[in-house]
Amino acid sequence: MGGFLVLAGIAFAHLAVRTRQTLVAIAGVAVGVGFFLAVSGMMTGSQADFIRTLVDSAPHIILQDEQRAPAHQPAVTAWPGAAVAVRGVRPQDEVRGLKDWPAMLAAARAQPGAVAAPSLSGAVAARFAGRTEPLALNGVDPRIEGQLTKIEASLVGGHLTDLEARPDGIIISRPMADRIGAHLGDTLVVSSSAGVLQRMRILALIEPDARAGFYAGDNAAYGLLRTAQVLFARPNVVNQLHVKLGDPDAAEAVAATLEARWGYKWVSWQERSRDIRNLLVVRNIIMYAVIAAILLVAAFGIYTSVSTSVTDKRRDIAILRAMGFTERDVEGVFLIEGLVVGVAGALAGFAFGTVLLEILARLPITVQGKPLVLPLDRSLRQYLIAGAASLASALVAAWLPARKAAAVDPVDILRGAA
Partner 1 sequence: MTALIDLKDVTRRLVDPEPVTLVREVSLEIQPGEFVAVVGPSGCGKSSLLYLLGLLDRPDAGSVRIDGRATETLSEVERTHLRLERIGFVFQFHFLLPELTAEANVALPIRRLGRYSRREADDRAHDLLAKLGLQAEAHRRPDRMSGGQRQRVAIARALANDPAIILGDEPTGNLDSVNTRLVVEEFQRLAHQEGRAVVCVTHDAGVAAAADRRIHMLDGRIVPET
Residues forming contacts to partner 1 in the complex (CB under 8 A) are 2-3, 5-6, 9-10, 13-14, 16-17, 315-316, 318-319, 321-329, 410-411, 414-415, 417-418
Contact 320, 9 (CB under 8 A): no
Helix (H, G, I), strand (E, B) or coil at 220: strand
Which residue's CB is nearer to partner 1, number 11 or number 39?
11
Taking the C-alpha atoms of residue 282 and residue 278, their distance in angstroms, rounded to an integer, is 6
Which residue's CB is nearer to partner 1, number 128 or number 334?
334
Nearest residue to 192 (alpha-carbon basis) of 252, 237, 144, 143:
237
Which residue's CB is nearer to partner 1, number 206 or number 318?
318
Which residue's CB is nearer to partner 1, number 143 or number 328?
328
Which residue's CB is nearer to partner 1, number 88 or number 324?
324
Alpha-carbon separation of residue 254 from 106, 238, 246 (angstroms):
14, 21, 11
Strand pairing category for 197-206 and 265-268: unpaired
CB of 5 to partner 1, least distance (A): 7
CB of 20 to partner 1, least distance (A): 15
Taking the C-alpha atoms of residue 131 and residue 115, their distance in angstroms, rounded to an integer, is 38
Which residue's CB is nearer to partner 1, number 184 or number 319?
319
Contact 17, 308 (CB under 8 A): no
Residue 38: CB atoms within 10 A of its CB come to: 23
Strand pairing category for 197-206 and 169-173: parallel
Contact 149, 243 (CB under 8 A): no
CB of 408 to partner 1, least distance (A): 12
CB of 289 to partner 1, least distance (A): 40
Alpha-carbon separation of residue 386 from 26, 146, 294, 336, 347 (angstroms):
14, 40, 12, 19, 10
CB of 350 to partner 1, least distance (A): 29
Q: Which amino acid is at 406?
A: A
Identify how many contiguous H helices and E strands the chain contains and give both numbers.
Answer: 16, 12
Q: Which amino acid is at 217?
A: G
CA angle 300, 302, 303 (to 5 degrees): 60
- In the DSSP assignment, the letter for residue 53 is H
CB of 301 to partner 1, least distance (A): 22
CB of 411 to partner 1, least distance (A): 5
Which residue's CB is nearer to partner 1, number 165 or number 407?
407
CB of 307 to partner 1, least distance (A): 18
Taking the C-alpha atoms of residue 289 and residue 349, their distance in angstroms, rounded to an integer, is 19
Which residue's CB is nearer to partner 1, number 145 or number 316?
316
DSSP bridge pairs for 190: 126, 198
HSE of 242 in the Cβ direction (CA atoms, 13 Å)?
23
Residue 401: CB atoms within 10 A of its CB come to: 24
CB of 311 to partner 1, least distance (A): 15
Which residue's CB is nearer to partner 1, number 133 or number 316?
316
CB of 335 to partner 1, least distance (A): 17
Nearest residue to 59 (alpha-carbon basis) of 244, 215, 267:
244
Which residue's CB is nearer to partner 1, number 365 or number 411?
411
